[in-house]
C-alpha cells in the first residue's frame, strides 16, 4: 500500500548506453597497451561492470563495503593473474602463450570491471556522484588523441592522413571530435538529472558549444612547435663564444649536393664564353642544393638562435607569397635577414657601426619603412611579396635586396604570428654581364672601403688567394668579378659539404677548415669565400637568412620556408650593381639530401596566408573564413552572454522585490516565488511531476515554515476565488512578509554560507525555481 | 430523513436530538473523531484508516486486499462501533458482517420474504445489507449471483426482493475484503463490480512497533472491547451532514483538467488496455474534497490527487498481458499532468 520510493530503475536503453560508453573508455585506455585478449577482456569487463555496479548500488549493502569488496575482488583477480604466469605448472599445462594471454585477460578484464562497477555503484547510490563517472569517461576517451598535443596536428596518423588526403586541415577533425565529445558528455549529464530536461539546460548546452567554438579564435589553435632534432644541435648557447663552432648545426643550401645538376665543365677556364653561361647556370644553382637535414639556422649569431636554433628539420618557419613574378637567375631565392661584415679577429659578425650595411632594417615595420641605403636600380627587378611568419623571428627578412618594408594584416592569427610585405630589387643581371665592373663603390669613404676589406692577418689567406687568382684567364686578369668567380669555382671544387664537421675549439675555425680538411658547411664556405675575396681586394660580406629552391615552389607563387632552409652565403659588391650573391656549391657532399618540400603543406599554408577571397569553394574549406567567422561570432556571443546575464540579474532582482510592490491579488505567486528562489539558491528545487506539497515536505529539512507558504500559495491558486477577500490570508502582505522572513531565517540557519553566496551570485538560479 | 430525526427517539440511547453540522470545522471534527477511534483500534494502518474515512465521507465503498488476520474485520467493526445510530427505532443496525462462501444465496444478503403462520401473511425479513457498515468478507469466494445482488445494493442503495424495491439507509458503507493470493475456487470480481468500489486498498504487514502495540493492547483489554472505545463517537446524522459539507470544498478548474489529463494519459499508454473511466473521475471528486477537508483545506490540491489517484485507478485499469506493476504505470501517467498543474499555480 505504501508507494515505495526506491530510486528509479534506469531504463534498458540508458544502461546499454552506459555500458557502451564504459566499454569504449576501457578500449581507449588499453589501446596500444594490451594484448588482443586483454583488450577484449577490458571491453567485456567494463561493459559488465555497469549492470553489476548498478545492482550493487541498488542493494542495501553500504557503499564503503561495496567498494572494499570490489577492491578485494580486484586484488584476488590480480593474484590469480600473477599465479597464472608465476606458477610453474600452469604455463607448462597450457603453454606459455596461453598463460600470458590468460594473465593479460584477467588483469585487464578485472581492472576494467572493478573500475566500471565501482563508478556505477557510486553513481547509482549518489546521483550527484554520477558526474565522477562522466568525468572518467571524459578523461578516458580523449586519451586516444593524447598524442595530438601541443598542436602537433599530424597525430594520430590515421586521422591526419585521412584528412590531408582530402585537403582538410586535421585540426578541424580534432575540433569536431572535441565538439562531439562535449555534446555526448552533456547529453549523458542531462540524462543523469531526475528533474527532467529544463529548457535552461539545453540552452546551457548550446552556450557551452558556442563558447568552445568562440574561444578558439581568441586563444588560437595551438602552434606547432618544430620538433627537437634529437639533440644534435644542443649547444645553442655557444653562439657568442666561438662563431664558427657556434652550436647550431648549420645547414647549408650552398653545398653542391645536387648531383643532377650539370657539372662544371672546365674549372681551368671558367670564364671562357660558352662555359661561362653554363657555369653561371651552375654557379647560381650551386647554392641551391636542398639543404641537408640539420639545424634550421645558421645560428652563428645570437640573433638567430631564438628562431629555433637547436630545432630543425622540416618544420615550416614562414610562408612568402610573391606578388610579382620573379625567377632568380641563380635558381634560388635568397632571403636575407642579416649581413655580417665586421671582422672581429676570428669571424665575421653583424656590423655595429652605422655607416655600413645600410640595406637592411632590424625591426618589424609598423608603418611603411624604407631601407636607409637601398640597392641600386640597374640590373634588378622590383619584386613585392608578403611574408607570414609561423615562428617568431627577431628581424624581418626579405628577398635580397630589399628597399621597403610595409606592415600587413595577419591573414590568419591562429596560424601565423605576424605578417609583413616587402619590396625588393632582386638581382636579374646574368653573371656574364657582371664581368668588367669595378668592385666597391666610388662614393664610399675611405674607412668604409677598408672596412669591407678587413680580414685575418694570417698570411696563408693571402697566399692561397694569390695562388687561386693566378688561375684567372689572362684576358680577365684584375677583373673583380672574374677573380671572385674563379675563387668560387676553386672552392666548389675543393670543399666538401658536411654538417658534421664543425671545426670547433680552435681560435680561427675558418683557417682550420680552409687549410685543413676543407670539410664544413655553409658558414665555413661563406667565411672562406669572403676572406679570400677580401684578401684579393674585393669588398665582400656574408648574408644570412634563408635560401629556397626555385624549383621547390612548383610554379606556385607560394614559397614555403622551412627550418632547414637557413643558410649563409658570401656576397660581393660591384659598382653600379650593389651587393651580389655568389654562393658556393661544393661538389662533394657527404650528407644525405633533405626530403622534398611537402607541396600539400605549401599549398595549404599559402591558402591560409592568402585568405583566398576569390575562391568560394576553397574559402569554405580554409580555416581562415571559419575562424574569422568564429571571431565575429565570439564577439556576438560575448555581447549576448553579457546581455543575458544582465537580463537574468534584472529578473532575479525583480523577483526579489516583487512581493513588496505587486497587487495583493498577485501576492500568492510573488511571495511564494521569492521563497522558491531562496530555496533554489541553496540547491533545493521541485522535481518534475512533484507536487508543491511534496516539495515542501522535502524542503522541510531546511525550511519547515516553507510548507505554510506553500499552503498559502495553493489557497491563492486553487482556492475558491469567490471567497471574501478580507478573509483570505493569502492576500495579506504582512503575512507573506513574515512568512518569507521566517523561511529566510531557516535557510540561513540550515545551509552553509558559501552555498548561499554561490546561489546569490548565480544569475540563473531562479530558472531552477519551478 | 430530517423529519424522521425529529420524531420520538429511543429511550435507551438518547433523548436529545443529534447535533447538526454545517461548517467545515465541524465536518473536520467528524472525520477526526472517526480517525482517532479507528487508529486507536487498529495500529499501524494510518493510511488505510484515512482512506476509509475519506471513502465514508465521499459516499464510496472500499475493497481491502489483504491476508487473513491483518485487522480487516477489526477495522470494520471499529468503524461500526464508532457510529451512533441516532434513528434507533428503524430496523437498520450499525454493523453487519457477511462471510461470503460459494453456497451463499442472494437472499442471504438482501433478506427474504417469509410466511408468518400466525398472521397468514408474508413479511420481509431484512438481510445483512440493512446496516450502516457492511463487512463483506472474502467477497470473491461467492458466486456472481450473490455478487450482483450486492452490486445493486452498493450502486443504488436499494435491494429488490420479490419485485419489491426497498431502500437502504443513506449511510450504507461496504468494506469488502479479498485475499490476493488464495485464489483457488474464487470468482474474481468483474470489472463492473470493481468499479463500484471507490478505493481498492492493498494492505501490507504493519511495522514492528505497531505490531508490539497490538499485542500490548490485547493483553490490556482482552478480546472484549476494542482499544479506543472510550473515544468520542459520531452520529449517523453527523456523517450525512459532513457529506453535504464536503460538497462545498472548491475544486479548481486546473485540478479538474489535471484529472482529465491523468485519465487521458492512462488511455494513451499502450501497456494499459483500458484506461480510467469517466465515472472514476466523477467518483474521485467527492473523495478529493473529503481528503482536502481532512487536511483542513477549503480547496482540492495536487497533494490530494497524488494521494488518492493510485487507490482510485489501480483496480479500474485493464493492463496488457505481461504488465503487472500498475502503481508504476499510474505514477508515470501522473507525472506530466501533475507538472502542468504545479506550473499552473504559478501562472495565475
Query: Closest approach of chain B CAs to the CA of A667, in angstroms?
Result: 11
- B1 found inside a domain: no
> Do B189 and B208 sit in the same domain of this protein?
yes
- B9 found inside a domain: no
Cell 563508478 belongs to A119
- Of B201, B303, B343, which has the smallest distance from its Cβ to A693's Cβ? B303
Between the alpha carbon of residue B344 and those of residues A195, A515, A658, A691, B120, the distances in Å are 18, 99, 19, 12, 69
> Do B234 and B278 sit in the same domain of this protein?
no
Tell me how far the alpha carbon of residue A403 is from its chain's centroid.
Answer: 33
Task: Tell me whether B328 touches chain A (CB under 8 Å).
Answer: no
pLDDT in the model for residue A626: 54
> Do B285 and B235 sit in the same domain of this protein?
no
User: How do beta strands B111-116 and B61-65 pair?
Assistant: unpaired
Residue B306 grid coordinates:
497524488
- B294 found inside a domain: yes
Residue A413 grid coordinates:
592569427
Q: How many residues does chain A have?
A: 770
> Do B176 and B119 sit in the same domain of this protein?
yes
> Do B234 and B283 sit in the same domain of this protein?
no
Whether residues B348 and A720 touch (CB distance < 8 A) is answered with no
CA angle A137, A140, A143 (to 5 degrees): 145
Whether residues A1 and B338 touch (CB distance < 8 A) is answered with no
3-state secondary structure of A447: helix
Give the whole-angstrom CA distance, residue B104 versus residue B149.
11
Residue B197 grid coordinates:
468500489
Whether residues B336 and A689 touch (CB distance < 8 A) is answered with yes
Instruction: Mark which residues 17-36 of B lie under 8 Å from A by CB.
Output: none
> Do B194 and B123 sit in the same domain of this protein?
yes
- Best B72, B200, B301 member to test A by mutation, with max A CBs in 10 Å, is B301
Between the alpha carbon of residue A467 and those of residues A320, A483, A561, A587, the distances in Å are 42, 11, 39, 21
Domain that holds residue B206: 17-244
Whether residues A718 and B299 touch (CB distance < 8 A) is answered with yes
Nearest CA to B128 out of B96, B81, B150, B85 is that of: B96
**Dihedral sign computed on CA atoms, order A34, A39, A43, A48:** negative
- Of A689, A693, A719, which has the smallest distance from its Cβ to B299's Cβ? A719
Nearest CA to A487 out of A541, A424, A530 is that of: A530
Residue of A nearest to B335 (CA): A689
| Below-70 pLDDT ranges, chain A | 1-10, 32, 127-128, 142, 144-158, 160, 170-171, 182, 185-186, 188-202, 205, 212-313, 611-631
Residue A237 grid coordinates:
648557447
Residue of B nearest to A671 (CA): B346
Query: Closest approach of chain A CAs to the CA of B302, in angstroms?
Result: 6
pLDDT in the model for residue B17: 63
Whether residues B302 and A669 touch (CB distance < 8 A) is answered with no
Whether residues A692 and B342 touch (CB distance < 8 A) is answered with yes
Domain boundary among B214, B244, B274: B244
Judging contacts by C-beta atoms under 8 Å, the chain A residues touching residue B334 are 689
Query: Closest approach of chain A CAs to the CA of B108, in angstroms?
Result: 32
Stated as kind and residue range, the H or E segment containing A108 is: helix A96-125
Give the whole-angstrom CA distance, residue B323 versus residue B310.
16
pLDDT in the model for residue A503: 81
Judging contacts by C-beta atoms under 8 Å, the chain B residues touching residue A694 are 303, 306
Nearest CA to A254 out of A549, A552, A578 is that of: A549
* Phi then psi dihedrals of residue A452, to 5 deg: -75, 0
Task: Tell me whether B345 touches chain A (CB under 8 Å).
Answer: yes
Instruction: Mark which residues 258-277 of B lie under 8 Å from A by CB.
Output: none
Residue of B nearest to A722 (CA): B250
pLDDT in tens, B27-38: 999 999 999 999
Query: Closest approach of chain B CAs to the CA of A388, in angstroms?
Result: 60
Q: A245-277 burial, b if ≥16 CB within 10 A, otherwise e? A: bbbbbbbbbbbbbbeebeebeebeebbeeebbe
Whether the CB-CB separation of A485 and A271 falls below 8 Å is answered with yes
Q: Residue A439 gets which letter from DSSP?
A: B
CATH number of the domain bearing residue B336: 1.10.8.80
Number of domains in chain B: 2
- Of A2, A688, A723, which has the smallest distance from its Cβ to B339's Cβ? A688
- Of B203, B300, B339, which has the smallest distance from its Cβ to A1's Cβ? B203
Whether residues A718 and B306 touch (CB distance < 8 A) is answered with no
> Do B306 and B164 sit in the same domain of this protein?
no
Whether residues B301 and A691 touch (CB distance < 8 A) is answered with yes
Task: Tell me whether B49 touches chain A (CB under 8 Å).
Answer: no
Q: How many CB atoms lie within 10 A of CB A199?
A: 8
Task: Tell me whether B320 touches chain A (CB under 8 Å).
Answer: no
> Do B185 and B207 sit in the same domain of this protein?
yes
Whether residues B331 and A3 touch (CB distance < 8 A) is answered with yes
Whether residues A718 and B48 touch (CB distance < 8 A) is answered with no
pLDDT in the model for residue B301: 92
Whether residues A673 and B204 touch (CB distance < 8 A) is answered with no
Residue A316 grid coordinates:
615550416
Residue A723 grid coordinates:
471567497
Whether residues A1 and B298 touch (CB distance < 8 A) is answered with no
- B140 found inside a domain: yes
Task: Tell me whether B79 touches chain A (CB under 8 Å).
Answer: no
3-state secondary structure of A209: helix
Domain boundary among B244, B275, B296: B244
Q: At what angle do helices A667-681 and A753-761 cross, to 10 degrees?
A: 120
pLDDT in the model for residue A267: 38
ipTM of the complex: 0.85
- SS3 labels along chain B: CHHHHHCCCCCCCCCCCCCCCCCHHHHHHHHHHHHHHHHHHCCCCHHHHHHHHHHHHCCCEEEEECCCCCCHHHHHHHHHHCEECCCCCCCCEEEEEEECCCCCCHHHHHEEEEEECCCCEEEEEECCCCEEEEEEECHHHCCHHHHHHHHHHHHHCEEEECCEEEECCCCCEEEEEECCCCCCCCCCCCHHHHCCEEEEEECCCCCHHHHHHHHHHHHHHCCCCCCCCCCCCEEHHHHHHHHHHHCCCECCHHHHHHHHHHHHHHHHCCCEEECCCHHHHHHHHHHHHHHHHHCCCCECCHHHHHHHHHHHHCCCCEECCCCCCHHHHHHHHHHHHHHHHHHHHHHC
Stated as kind and residue range, the H or E segment containing A546 is: strand A540-549
- Best A691, A692, A768 member to test B by mutation, with max B CBs in 10 Å, is A691
Q: Taking chain A, what is the end-to-end CA distance rounded to the nearest angstrom?
A: 30
* Phi then psi dihedrals of residue A576, to 5 deg: 80, -10
Judging contacts by C-beta atoms under 8 Å, the chain A residues touching residue B252 are 717-719
Q: At what angle do helices B278-294 and B24-41 cross, to 10 degrees?
A: 90
Judging contacts by C-beta atoms under 8 Å, the chain B residues touching residue A196 are 339
Residues of A with CB under 8 A from a CB of B: 1-3, 196, 669, 672-673, 686, 688-694, 711, 713-720, 723, 770
pLDDT in the model for residue B149: 86
Give the whole-angstrom CA distance, residue B114 versus residue B117.
9
Whether residues A718 and B47 touch (CB distance < 8 A) is answered with no
> Do B257 and B234 sit in the same domain of this protein?
no
> Do B68 and B175 sit in the same domain of this protein?
yes
Nearest CA to A697 out of B76, B17, B30, B295 is that of: B295
> Do B257 and B281 sit in the same domain of this protein?
yes
The residue ranges of every structural domain in chain A are 12-146, 236-610, 662-768
Whether residues B202 and A1 touch (CB distance < 8 A) is answered with yes
Whether the CB-CB separation of A521 and A252 falls below 8 Å is answered with yes
Q: How many CB atoms lie within 10 A of CB A371?
A: 20
> Do B34 and B136 sit in the same domain of this protein?
yes
Residue of B nearest to A687 (CA): B339
pLDDT in the model for residue A313: 65
| Below-70 pLDDT ranges, chain B | 1-18, 218-226, 348
Query: Closest approach of chain A CAs to the CA of B110, in angstroms?
Result: 32
Residue A126 grid coordinates:
549518489
3-state secondary structure of A105: helix
Judging contacts by C-beta atoms under 8 Å, the chain A residues touching residue B306 are 691, 693-694
Give the whole-angstrom CA distance, residue B128 versus residue B99.
11
- Of B48, B299, B335, which has the smallest distance from its Cβ to A688's Cβ? B335
Task: Tell me whether B10 touches chain A (CB under 8 Å).
Answer: no
Residue A259 grid coordinates:
648531383
pLDDT in the model for residue A10: 59
* Phi then psi dihedrals of residue A313, to 5 deg: 85, -140
Query: Closest approach of chain B CAs to the CA of A201, in angstroms?
Result: 18
Query: Closest approach of chain A CAs to the CA of B165, in angstroms?
Result: 38
- Best B66, B299, B327 member to test A by mutation, with max A CBs in 10 Å, is B299
Stated as kind and residue range, the H or E segment containing A677 is: helix A667-681
pLDDT in tens, B306-328: 999 999 998 988 888 888 888 89
- B256 found inside a domain: yes
pLDDT in the model for residue A176: 74
Amino acid at each position: 500500500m505504501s508507494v515505495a520510493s526506491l530510486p528509479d530503475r534506469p531504463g534498458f536503453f540508458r544502461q546499454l548506453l552506459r555500458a557502451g560508453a564504459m566499454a569504449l573508455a576501457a578500449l581507449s585506455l588499453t589501446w596500444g597497451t594490451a594484448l588482443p585478449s586483454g583488450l577484449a577482456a577490458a571491453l567485456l569487463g567494463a561493459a559488465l561492470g555497469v549492470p553489476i555496479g548498478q545492482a550493487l548500488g541498488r542493494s542495501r549493502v553500504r557503499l564503503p563495503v561495496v567498494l572494499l569488496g570490489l577492491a578485494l575482488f580486484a586484488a584476488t583477480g590480480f593474484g590469480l593473474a600473477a599465479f597464472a604466469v608465476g606458477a610453474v605448472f600452469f604455463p607448462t599445462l597450457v603453454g606459455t602463450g596461453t598463460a600470458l594471454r590468460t594473465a593479460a585477460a584477467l588483469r585487464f578484464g578485472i581492472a576494467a570491471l572493478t573500475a566500471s562497477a565501482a563508478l556505477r555503484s557510486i553513481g547509482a547510490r549518489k546521483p550527484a556522484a554520477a558526474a565522477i563517472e562522466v568525468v572518467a569517461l571524459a578523461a578516458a576517451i580523449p586519451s586516444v588523441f593524447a598524442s595530438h598535443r601541443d598542436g602537433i596536428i599530424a597525430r594520430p596518423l590515421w586521422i591526419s592522413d585521412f584528412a590531408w588526403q582530402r585537403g582538410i586541415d586535421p585540426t578541424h577533425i580534432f575540433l569536431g571530435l572535441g565538439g562531439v565529445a562535449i555534446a555526448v558528455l552533456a547529453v549523458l549529464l542531462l540524462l543523469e538529472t531526475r528533474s527532467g530536461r529544463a529548457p535552461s539546460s539545453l540552452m546551457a548546452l548550446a552556450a557551452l558549444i558556442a563558447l568552445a567554438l568562440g574561444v578558439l579564435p581568441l586563444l588560437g589553435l595551438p602552434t606547432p612547435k618544430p620538433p627537437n632534432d634529437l639533440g644534435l644541435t644542443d649547444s645553442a648557447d655557444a653562439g657568442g663564444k666561438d662563431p664558427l663552432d657556434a652550436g647550431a648545426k648549420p645547414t647549408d643550401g650552398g653545398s653542391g649536393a645536387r648531383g643532377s645538376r650539370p657539372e662544371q665543365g672546365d674549372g681551368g677556364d671558367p670564364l671562357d664564353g660558352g662555359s661561362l653561361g653554363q657555369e653561371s647556370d651552375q654557379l647560381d644553382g650551386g647554392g641551391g642544393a636542398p639543404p641537408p637535414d640539420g639545424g634550421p639556422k645558421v645560428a652563428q649569431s645570437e640573433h638567430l638562435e631564438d628562431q629555433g636554433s637547436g630545432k630543425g628539420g622540416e618544420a615550416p618557419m614562414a610562408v612568402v607569397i610573391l606578388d610579382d613574378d620573379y625567377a632568380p637567375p641563380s635558381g634560388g631565392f635568397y632571403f636575407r635577414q642579416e649581413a655580417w661584415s665586421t671582422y672581429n679577429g676570428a669571424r665575421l659578425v653583424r656590423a655595429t657601426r652605422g655607416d655600413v650595411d645600410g640595406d637592411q632594417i632590424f625591426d618589424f615595420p609598423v608603418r611603411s619603412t624604407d631601407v636607409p641605403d637601398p640597392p641600386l636600380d640597374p640590373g634588378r627587378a622590383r619584386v613585392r611579396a608578403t611574408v607570414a611568419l609561423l615562428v617568431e623571428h627577431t628581424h624581418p627578412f626579405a628577398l635580397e635586396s630589399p628597399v621597403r618594408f610595409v606592415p600587413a594584416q595577419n591573414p590568419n592569427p591562429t596560424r601565423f604570428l605576424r605578417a609583413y610585405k616587402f619590396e625588393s630589387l632582386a638581382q636579374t643581371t646574368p653573371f656574364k654581364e657582371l664581368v668588367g665592373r669595378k668592385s666597391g663603390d666610388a662614393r664610399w669613404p675611405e674607412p668604409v672601403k677598408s672596412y669591407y676589406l678587413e680580414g685575418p692577418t694570417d698570411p696563408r689567406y693571402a697566399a692561397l688567394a694569390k695562388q687561386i687568382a693566378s688561375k684567372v684567364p689572362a684576358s680577365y686578369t684584375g677583373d673583380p668579378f672574374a677573380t671572385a668567380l674563379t675563387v668560387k669555382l676553386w672552392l666548389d671544387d675543393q670543399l666538401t659539404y658536411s654538417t658534421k664537421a664543425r671545426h670547433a675549439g680552435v681560435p680561427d675555425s675558418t683557417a682550420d677548415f680552409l687549410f685543413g680538411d676543407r670539410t664544413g658547411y655553409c658558414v665555413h664556405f661563406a667565411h672562406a669565400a669572403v676572406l679570400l675575396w677580401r684578401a684579393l681586394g674585393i669588398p665582400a660580406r656574408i648574408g644570412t637568412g634563408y635560401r629556397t629552391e626555385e624549383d621547390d615552389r612548383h610554379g606556385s607563387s607560394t614559397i614555403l620556408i622551412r627550418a632547414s632552409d637557413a643558410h649563409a652565403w658570401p656576397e660581393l659588391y660591384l659598382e653600379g650593381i650593389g651587393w651580389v650573391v655568389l654562393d658556393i656549391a661544393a661538389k662533394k657532399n657527404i650528407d644525405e639530401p633533405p626530403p622534398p618540400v611537402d607541396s600539400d603543406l605549401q599549398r595549404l599554408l599559402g591558402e591560409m596566408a592568402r585568405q583566398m577571397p576569390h575562391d568560394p569553394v576553397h574559402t569554405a574549406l580554409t580555416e581562415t573564413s571559419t575562424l574569422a567567422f568564429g571571431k565575429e561570432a565570439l564577439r556576438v556571443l560575448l555581447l549576448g552572454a553579457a546581455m543575458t546575464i544582465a537580463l537574468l540579474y534584472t529578473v532575479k532582482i525583480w523577483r526579489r522585490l516583487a512581493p513588496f510592490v505587486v497587487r495583493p491579488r498577485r501576492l500568492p505567486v510573488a511571495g511564494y516565488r521569492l521563497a522558491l528562489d531562496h530555496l533554489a539558491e541553496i540547491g533545493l528545487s521541485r522535481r518534475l511531476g512533484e507536487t508543491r506539497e511534496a516539495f515542501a515536505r522535502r524542503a522541510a529539512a531546511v525550511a519547515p515554515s516553507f510548507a505554510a507558504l506553500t499552503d498559502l500559495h495553493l489557497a491563492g491558486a486553487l482556492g475558491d476565488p469567490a471567497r471574501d477577500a478580507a478573509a483570505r490570508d493569502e492576500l495579506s502582505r504582512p503575512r507573506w512578509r513574515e512568512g518569507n522572513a521566517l523561511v529566510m531565517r531557516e535557510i540561513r540557519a540550515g545551509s552553509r554560507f558559501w552555498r548561499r553566496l554561490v546561489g546569490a551570485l548565480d544569475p540563473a538560479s531562479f530558472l531552477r525555481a519551478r | 430523513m430530517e423529519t424522521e430525526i425529529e420524531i420520538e427517539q429511543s429511550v435507551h440511547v438518547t433523548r436529545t436530538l443529534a447535533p447538526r453540522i454545517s461548517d467545515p470545522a465541524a465536518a473536520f471534527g467528524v472525520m477526526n473523531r472517526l480517525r482517532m477511534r479507528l487508529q486507536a483500534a487498529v495500529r499501524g494502518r494510518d493510511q488505510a484508516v484515512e482512506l476509509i474515512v475519506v471513502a465514508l465521507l465521499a459516499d464510496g465503498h472500499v475493497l481491502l486486499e489483504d491476508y487473513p488476520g491483518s485487522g480487516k474485520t477489526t477495522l470494520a467493526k471499529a468503524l461500526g462501533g464508532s457510529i451512533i445510530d441516532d434513528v434507533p427505532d428503524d430496523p437498520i443496525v450499525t454493523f453487519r458482517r457477511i462471510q461470503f462462501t460459494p453456497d451463499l444465496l442472494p437472499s442471504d444478503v438482501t433478506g427474504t420474504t417469509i410466511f408468518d403462520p400466525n398472521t397468514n401473511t408474508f413479511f420481509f425479513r431484512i438481510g445483512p445489507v440493512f446496516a450502516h457498515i457492511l463487512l463483506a468478507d472474502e467477497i470473491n469466494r461467492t458466486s456472481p449471483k450473490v455478487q450482483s445482488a450486492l452490486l445493486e445494493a452498493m450502486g443504488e442503495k436499494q435491494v429488490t426482493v420479490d419485485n419489491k424495491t426497498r431502500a437502504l439507509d443513506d449511510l450504507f458503507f461496504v468494506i469488502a475484503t479479498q485475499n490476493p493470493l488464495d485464489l483457488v475456487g474464487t470468482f474474481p470480481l468483474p470489472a463492473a463490480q470493481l468499479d463500484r468500489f471507490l478505493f481498492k486498498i492493498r494492505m501490507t504487514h504493519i511495522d514492528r512497533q505497531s505490531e508490539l502495540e497490538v499485542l500490548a493492547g490485547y493483553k490490556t483489554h482482552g478480546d472484549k472491547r476494542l482499544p479506543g472505545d472510550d473515544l468520542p463517537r459520531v452520529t449517523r446524522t453527523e456523517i450525512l451532514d459532513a457529506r453535504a459539507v464536503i460538497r462545498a470544498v472548491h475544486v479548481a478548474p486546473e485540478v479538474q483538467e489535471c484529472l482529465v489529463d491523468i485519465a487521458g494519459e492512462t488511455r494513451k499508454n499502450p501497456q494499459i488496455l483500458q484506461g480510467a473511466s469517466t465515472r472514476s473521475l466523477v467518483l474521485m471528486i467527492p473523495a478529493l474534497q473529503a481528503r482536502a477537508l481532512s487536511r483542513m483545506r477549503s480547496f482540492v490540491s495536487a497533494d490530494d490527487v497524488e494521494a488518492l489517484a493510485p487507490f482510485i485507478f489501480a483496480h479500474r485499469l485493464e493492463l496488457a498481458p505481461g504488465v503487472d506493476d500498475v502503481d508504476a504505470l499510474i505514477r508515470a501517467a501522473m507525472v506530466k499532468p501533475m507538472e502542468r498543474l504545479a506550473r499552473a499555480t504559478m501562472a495565475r
